[in-house]
Chains A and B, each alone.
Chain A
């Protein structure tokens, strides 16, 4: 950080950083409201109706038709109200909640505008959001497992890619469950490599991660070209099928969105719950966090720092392997070169966006999943916005987040520093 100047101190006396941030966010929200009013409400013909399809093919029909213009007017009004409320700074703590509600409404207005005079499957889109969020969330959870014990894991991308490859080959040879196990073990082995390189050999953790990514990309591409191209029977593992959860799956909209999926999706929810409970309510979690925040203090009270780090990084690898298996055993059922195409990095971003918290990772995963879905679906609707700009969104959001604009996210204090036992 830059040196604190005298003007900073004067500023601090006048208002806290949170209050100043609230002012900034309030101004942004008012601007967003004006934008919604100008572009989404006044920019469409008043006779246009946006039709949202709320059921999947095969389920009872359910649609919601709304005047494109009226909805945008309403949304603009609500966002302006929230903006004004944030600007009054009476409840600074709730700024982020206001921001989240406003941005969700903005997304709704945006979809209404994109679907003006057309019909659009909202449930299909939300369902796809959930599906695309799975590898991102799992990547984020992997990163979280490692960074909570102060090991930076840039290798998530490589772990996902290699696990996806092994999942395909083992799944084709011995069935999808064998593929799943193979993928998870692969993730764990790469986690072990990262742990050994950064704990035992004290290589810079980012370099170790980059190396693993290059190695993973090189090896899987090499094997795909040299082996899979001549043995296509090793590249068709089949897929895990979807199972509707009784009762919950029958709820309109939410049922199709969350409770009618393959076991990877349910597994992700379960993992988020388990990790949240584990990190904040068990001895294991307390010890892990102690190692991540202040390893020396943890060592002093008798926690084995190295062992804790090894264990968490390898467990994180199992999660990454689970995510890699999702890519080739559920989403598609074949491996292609560089299949992950940056998902691991988005996962890393989601971890930071979610502030190193399991539920944060899930939320961030859904946000990024939504952005990824948008770029697929908006092409179908033919909006004037180039899909490349939508593709950029997750990355831009991440930069904004790490720059501290949407609140400061604080990593574990010892993150990235090797621990040298005296």
Chain B
């Protein structure tokens, strides 16, 4: 480990100072402003991202672009109607109907779980970019449990999830052990393990254990009905996995803020040298953090197999969830409840984005652009303040969670 300096995410900062002295009075004022800031900055970030998105939609509207030369008024009208149509679809597809809300929460489920995985890492000063790989490994384990045994659902589903937690925890734990034993930076090892997991999935899906009978491509057998997550309402896709994600939010909140081990996680994240001085085993804590993070990712991976059609393993089934999770954890400021709301927002963007693609012909990839813009502005509050000329006491929130590649 190199010197971690002031590296920290902020939830810690607001908590552990003794009440009563002058600095805590400042802090109370600070909490007030940071609460306002906690809502103001994300809101402005989302708004700005949507404005930039509108500009991108307008600039790529090939039908109206030539019109600007001949009839700017008409071109303006058509462009605005194009943007309006796209954003209306985004809105309608995410919250416009009971089915849309179901779709939003359905899409939010894996995002919340994966976001929690990244958030736990952030709080302990570790940057887990490997959620994607941990989802793949966890999901494959759950898949195997899902099709190889038949049990009552009440046993089968928890068993599959438990197995997936183990799988994800082991895969994440590798990076934790490497960091603790050799100092290998977790960013590098988790990125590399993502690729390894990706190819592992492709390989496993073509083995006789997993592959669907009669197929040559990488696709697995179907999960037994008893392991499929039951849906909640009628033919809506929302399934029980959403409650698992809520349970995970509660668990992470308890773990980080109410348990001794969570305190040690945060203490080491705040200052590893201090943690070591206080008698904590930093090596074990790195392993523990990566295992908890990987386990949460494993549940997210399970959701991608047992929670949606076709209930089979396919190539790269985790998709971009593991990377969206990084954005989410930042937006939620690494707090479990923040992650929950950020996850629902991103779920809404996904669900709405699909509608936008279908109804307005605007590719869903725009959602990625919006996400990237939101993170930049969350990670650099100074940027938002500069754009909107907000004057606040220059109390900088450092987002540095990593330093160097580590020896």
Report the bound CA distance from A205 to B400 in whole Å: 8
- Which has the most chain A C-beta neighbours within 10 Å: B383, B405, B407? B405
- Which has the most chain A C-beta neighbours within 10 Å: B362, B365, B371, B406? B365
Binding-face segment, A71-79, A225-233, A297-305: A225-233
If the complex has contacts A214-B327, A345-B191, are A396 and B196 also in contact, measured as CB distance less than 8 A?
A: yes
A223 with B368: CB separation less than 8 A: no
B199 with A417: CB separation less than 8 A: no
Q: Within 8 Å CB of B37, what residues of A? A: none
B188 with A411: CB separation less than 8 A: no
A402 with B371: CB separation less than 8 A: no
A225 with B365: CB separation less than 8 A: yes
B299 at the interface (CB under 8 A from A): no
A417 with B403: CB separation less than 8 A: yes
Q: Within 8 Å CB of B196, what residues of A? A: 392, 395-396
Of chain A, the residue at the smallest CB distance from B191 is A345
A411 with B407: CB separation less than 8 A: yes
A1 with B199: CB separation less than 8 A: no
A389 at the interface (CB under 8 A from B): yes
Using an 8 Å CB-CB cutoff, how does the interface string of A38-77 with B read, 1 for contact, 0 for none?
0000000000000000000000000000000000000000
B60 with A226: CB separation less than 8 A: yes
A2 at the interface (CB under 8 A from B): yes
B187 with A154: CB separation less than 8 A: yes
Using an 8 Å CB-CB cutoff, how does the interface string of A407-419 with B read, 1 for contact, 0 for none?
0101101111110
B376 with A211: CB separation less than 8 A: yes
B366 with A218: CB separation less than 8 A: yes
A335 to chain B, nearest CB (A): 14
A349 at the interface (CB under 8 A from B): yes
Binding-face segment, B177-185, B251-259, B305-313: B177-185
A379 at the interface (CB under 8 A from B): no
A214 with B368: CB separation less than 8 A: yes
Report the bound CA distance from A190 to B399 in whole Å: 21
Q: Which of A154, A226, A413, A417 contacts B5 (CB 8 A)?
A: A417
Binding-face segment, A93-101, A196-204, A262-270, A311-319: A196-204
Q: Within 8 Å CB of B92, what residues of A? A: none
A16 to chain B, nearest CB (A): 17
A203 with B379: CB separation less than 8 A: yes
Q: Within 8 Å CB of A203, what residues of B? A: 376, 379-380, 399
B398 with A352: CB separation less than 8 A: no
Of chain A, the residue at the smallest CB distance from B396 is A202
If the complex has contacts A215-B372, A218-B371, are A389 and B407 also in contact, measured as CB distance less than 8 A?
A: no
Q: Which of A197, A389, A415 contacts B199 (CB 8 A)?
A: A389
Report the bound CA distance from A211 to B375 in whole Å: 7
Interface residues on A, range: 35 or more
B403 with A416: CB separation less than 8 A: yes
Report the bound CA distance from A205 to B379 in whole Å: 11
Using an 8 Å CB-CB cutoff, how does the interface string of A361-401 with B read, 1 for contact, 0 for none?
00000000000000000000000001011011001101100
Report the bound CA distance from A411 to B2 in whole Å: 11
Within 8 A of A (CB), among B352-403: 361-363, 365-373, 375-376, 379-380, 382-383, 396, 398-403
A217 at the interface (CB under 8 A from B): yes
If the complex has contacts A203-B399, A416-B405, are A402 and B188 also in contact, measured as CB distance less than 8 A?
A: yes
Interface residues on B, range: 35 or more
B380 to chain A, nearest CB (A): 4
Q: Within 8 Å CB of B203, what residues of A? A: 386, 388-389
Q: Within 8 Å CB of A217, what residues of B? A: 365, 368
Q: Which of A207, A214, A222, A415 contacts B405 (CB 8 A)?
A: A415
B363 with A221: CB separation less than 8 A: yes
Q: Within 8 Å CB of B200, what residues of A? A: 388, 392
B80 at the interface (CB under 8 A from A): no
B368 with A215: CB separation less than 8 A: yes
B153 at the interface (CB under 8 A from A): no
A402 with B405: CB separation less than 8 A: yes
Q: Which of B192, B195, B326 contacts A210 (CB 8 A)?
A: B326
A352 with B405: CB separation less than 8 A: yes
If the complex has contacts A202-B398, A230-B62, A417-B403, are A219 and B369 also in contact, measured as CB distance less than 8 A?
A: yes
- Which has the most chain B C-beta neighbours within 10 Å: A197, A204, A348, A408? A204
Report the bound CA distance from A211 to B369 in whole Å: 9
If the complex has contacts A207-B379, A211-B372, are A388 and B405 also in contact, measured as CB distance less than 8 A?
A: no
B44 at the interface (CB under 8 A from A): no
A3 at the interface (CB under 8 A from B): yes
If the complex has contacts A201-B380, A391-B199, are A222 and B366 also in contact, measured as CB distance less than 8 A?
A: yes
Give the B-binding residues of A (Cβ under 8 A): 1-3, 152, 154, 197, 201-208, 210-212, 214-215, 217-219, 221-223, 225-227, 230-231, 342, 345, 348-349, 352, 386, 388-389, 391-392, 395-396, 398-399, 402-405, 408, 410-411, 413-418
Can you offer 13 A-B residue contacts whose CB atoms are under 8 A? Answer: A197-B376, A206-B127, A211-B372, A211-B379, A215-B369, A218-B366, A218-B370, A352-B405, A388-B202, A404-B183, A411-B407, A416-B403, A417-B400
Taking A225-B363, A402-B188 as given, write out 8 further A-B residue pairs in contact, using a Cβ cutoff of 8 Å, ordered by the A residue number: A2-B283, A222-B368, A349-B192, A388-B202, A389-B199, A391-B195, A408-B407, A411-B406
Give the A-binding residues of B (Cβ under 8 A): 1-2, 5, 56, 60, 62, 127, 129, 178, 180-185, 187-189, 191-193, 195-196, 199-200, 202-203, 206, 276, 282-283, 323, 326-327, 330, 361-363, 365-373, 375-376, 379-380, 382-383, 396, 398-407
